[in-house]
Structure 1
């Protein structure tokens, strides 16, 4: 979905990009630090992720407003992988494992770009993605609640964490809870009353100031603590971990690219070129590869920060350069102040922005349109929570592919009638009881692709109709059929022989040039000849009425 061109402050493109970059930085920097905590990493990793990958994307990316750092989905997937591969690792080891994971994610994306696999982003259907993201949102909220409540326990599965939270409610820290609830209230009020204000920056700055002035640490409120200042140090990945990390890296790479291309397309202005999928693979992949050597976690395009960037007036990728520069200033000058930030504030920030992943209206809309796809969304939702986030990706992909296979295996076969007084043939339904039917003629339309998976299913739908109407001619309208595979053609040849032996003539109409040429080269073409193949359905009906001296069209039988 394209968006309208954003206004530019002062009428000058460069000034608009500077304002947009600084405004986006006010959102990106606090959220990046919060997302690092989701992954179980030091918060400075979030700053590194908002710096290097963003600059690399500026050089290679094709979307003008896209703001690149990390996202809630990527963060929770990263955290799940790190806890699986390196449970209980000290911060130094964790950084090495993260660097290796980030490098592998980037390498996978770069290789996918070289192989031109941009279409893979379409492998997860929208209903499944809705369920997957909602599940991620619930998992993140449950993961952050202990920090909001001041509870401490060993993390485990989703069900385990929920149970521990419920058991610990009698021992929560009221001061910590007050800080978290207060942060949520500030964020919510600003978003509603002053949506143009940088709510995350205001909430974080207020919490840091209060913690320093009021000595919150003395009241049992956990603070972030020491944050290293300066540029990130060179980090060398450990390729010996590749065998353990590659399944998770594949899942994170898929989600990174899916989110990046979706956000880039969503915020494309009408005058801007559409983001190129394979180039986006290269840009995000190179950003991850470079970021790996500077302590960054896996990255991709972020929805909320890109929305802020666009609304604030971004017209070019210069706005992202400004955001990266603001991140550098934070690393060099503000690290001591960041150390005063309460963990409850970060948790509240994560929870508020993770709730946006859970949209019951999306589930309702899917259910209203198609119940089957609603069940797919629920399967992905439950898969994330019950099987874990990385396995949840697998569930999402499998559900999407099963859905695709189910649709392909059940081809549409429509019984047609003619709209009275026109040459329009359409499916006969109770809504059109006056549509014309033709005694002796059975008009059927096949749609989609007919191949070995669904040929027999199409035959199963056609046989009862022949038995019900006892036609002299079965006319297959193939105008909606874009491909006829050899196995399906063989089945059609056998069906033509059986029906001809039973006194029923098969007739084809509306064949596209490829299907027509294929039929002519087969025994079916020899059996039918041009006599029983027509340019369109109207010509077939006119000819068959005349040849068989059928009566004037009558009302369709009930």
Structure 2
């Protein structure tokens, strides 16, 4: 679906117009917005390019794999995507997931083997996203809750920090797991390279100072330029400071995927595809302007899938929407996907003209960039915000966080998904069940509490509200809670307020019929009130509906109370 952009004239690109054709947003493009888009693209490039190289090192890949991800995928997304501000390349989360996947699939692989492996991985990610788009699986992005995603990202941030510490100290540590890696770093810290450490501290201090005092200046780009300049002047290899080495200049060449790795890589590809899509949708929706439509999930699946396929053919890392770069793109004034095209072209110029200079980059400077931007993922404020609202969801967030640290990133994402599904199942199986009373002088029925002792109840009549869908997984619990309320009240008539029940499943109806039989055997009655039309039709077709009849299915609680009062008046 086409985003309604303020920069397109009425017609094919007008607000509200559904347009999913290739480059469909380009119709009606106004030249007046070109300057803003170009400036935004160049500004985003200043942030994206250094980070893309840094994330390639996180994955254990040559830095050109990150540059390729900042070249081709943004261009493909600009052609097919619908977000005006989304900036697509590789991200912190993707970088660490790729690194974990390659460590397991091609341990100790040389540069050529790693490039073939990452090409295979990107192609698999792209194919999974394209198949998901064809099957219209865009809704899957909604199945990872925000608390779980916050916990997963915090775990990723902690893992990346531990992964970069040896580079910042000039050490080599064999990676075996988060806690054991930290212990190994502490033990080896005495052998740290002082020149490397000083360079790392200077790079981190420079980035933090610029981010704090001059936020409009691209801090990562300044750190890269300063690192290259220092490397050119000081001959760092003589001081024991490692550089990233030769970067092939020119256009990327086609990389033949290694089909023998498909079996080993497809689980990781599935995890990366899920995270890529989740981050892309989250960024696109979070940064959409007031006059812009939220990106359509299945269109974004198609765009990011094609971006990964094309990028994979040329050895690019898997890609997706990145939060920090999208924020930069938006604040710089991006109006349309032209900004993404500019980012891709800036990456191409870098590959063609600046590769020799980039080869002088010290590893410690890239590690410093990764460290500063990865620490932001470990957000204590996110956990505090979750805890302030719901402690249960804090448990889910901490579970995802611990899963990444204890089991690794690839298994950690599985923990995150399972945790989200368990959280969803827990919430669905525990609907609210509570007694309601009438606010005096109104037709408002609300939860009965000690805060409102004046609310009206009716002797012999119990009104109970249930919220949510009733199905086989929660009906027994609902009936147990209802039974405890009934036992305390000992009513003659129990009115179940169904206004918040949007669906009743077969098993639920069967169990409710059994409950009605038990209630009637004790001399009481069960009434239903405020059924929505769909739920009412389902009930009427069931044995429960036949047992209740029209007289025990009331339009709403007000009619139920009126019917109760008429019946009591007739008896007296």
| TM-score band w.r.t. shorter chain | over 0.9
Could you say what secondary structure the match of 1:426 adopts? strand
Instruction: Give the Cα–Cα distance (whole angstroms) in 1 for the partners of residues 293 and 39 of structure 2.
Output: 23
Pairing 1:341-352 to 2, within 5 Å after superposition = 341-352=361-372
* Aligned twin of 1:528: 548
Matches within 5 A, 1:263-278: 263-278=283-298
- 1:373 corresponds in structure 2 to 393
| 1:461 positional shift | 0.3
Q: Say yes or no: does 1:195 pair with 2:215.
A: yes
Report the equivalent of 1:499.
519
Q: Is the 8 A contact 2:5 2:292 kept in 1?
A: no
* 1:451 aligned onto 2:464: no
Out of 294, 312, 331, which is 1:311 matched to? Answer: 331
Q: Write out aligned runs for 1:44-443 (5 A).
A: 44-443=64-463
Q: Measure how far apart 1:526 and its partner are.
A: 2.5
Specify the alignment match of 2:37 in structure 1. Answer: 17
Q: Distance in 1 between matches of 2:328 and 2:234?
A: 32
Per-residue deviation at 1:224? 1.3
Q: In 2, are the aligned partners of 1:418 and 1:436 still within 8 Å (CA)?
A: yes
Corresponding position of 1:555: none
Bigger CA drift: 213-222 or 368-377? 213-222
Q: Is the partner of 1:435 in helix, strand or coil?
A: coil
Residues 3 and 268 of structure 1 are in contact (CA less than 8 Å); yes or no, is this contact kept in structure 2? Answer: no
The separation in 1 between residues aligned to 2:546 and 2:321, in whole angstroms, is: 57
State the SS of the aligned residue for 2:469.
Answer: strand
- 1:471 positional shift: 0.3
Question: Counterpart of 1:437 in 2: which secondary structure?
Answer: coil
CA 1:187 to 1:4, structure 2 compared with 1: closer, same or farther past 3 Å? Answer: farther
**Equivalent-residue separation in structure 2 for 1:550 and 1:538 (angstroms):** 18
Cα deviation, residue 481, structure 1: 0.5
- Is contact 2:55–2:370 with CA below 8 Å preserved after alignment? yes
Deviation at 1:507? 1.0
In 2, are the aligned partners of 1:5 and 1:270 still within 8 Å (CA)?
A: no
Cα deviation for residue 388 of structure 1 reads 0.4
Residues of 2 paired with 1:163 and 1:75: CA distance? 23
d(CA) in 1 for partners of 2:452, 2:71: 61
Bigger mean CA deviation after superposition, 315-324 or 132-141: 315-324
Where do 1:23-42 residues align within 5 Å?
23-42=43-62
Q: 1:544 aligns with which of 540, 564, 568?
A: 564
Q: Which runs of 5+ in 2 are unaligned?
A: 8-30
1:365 to 1:344, Cα distance in 2 relative to 1, 3 A: same
Query: Structure 2 CA distance, aligned partners of 1:58 and 1:291?
Result: 14
8 Å Cα contact 1:73/1:133 also seen in 2: yes
Q: Equivalent residue of 2:86, what SS? A: coil
Residues 331-365 of structure 1, C-alpha deviation per residue, up to 9 Å, x if partnerless? Answer: 11111111111111000000001111111011011
TM-score, structure 2 length as denominator?
Answer: 0.93
User: Secondary structure in 2 aligned to 1:200?
Assistant: helix
473-482 or 414-423: bigger deviation: 414-423
| Residues 410-462 of structure 1 deviation map (CA, whole Å, 9 limit, x = unaligned) | 12211111112211101112222222111100100111101111111111001
Give the distance between the partners of 1:123 and 1:461, measured in 2 at CA: 28
* Post-superposition CA distance 1:124-159 (Å, at most 9, x none): 111000000000000000000000011112222112
User: Structure 2 CA distance, aligned partners of 1:518 and 1:320?
Assistant: 51
The two structures, once aligned, show a CA RMSD in angstroms of: 1.7
CA–CA separation in structure 2 for the residues paired with 1:273 and 1:526: 47
How big is each residue's C-alpha offset from its partner over 1:58-82, in whole Å with a ceiling of 9 and x where there is no partner? Answer: 1110111111110000000000000
Equivalence for 1:554 = none
Q: Distance in 1 between matches of 2:4 and 2:204?
A: 29
Q: How many angstroms does 1:4 deviate by?
A: 12
Structure 1 residues 216, 5: closer, same or farther in 2, change over 3 A? farther
Residues in 2 aligned to 1:471 and 1:87: alpha-carbon distance in whole angstroms: 70
Is the alpha carbon distance of 1:350 and 1:3 closer, same or farther for their aligned partners in structure 2, counting shifts above 3 Å? farther
TM superposition shift of 1:12:
3.3
How many Å apart are 1:5 and its aligned residue? 8.2
Deviation of 1:390 (Å): 0.5
Q: Distance in 1 between matches of 2:232 and 2:470?
A: 70
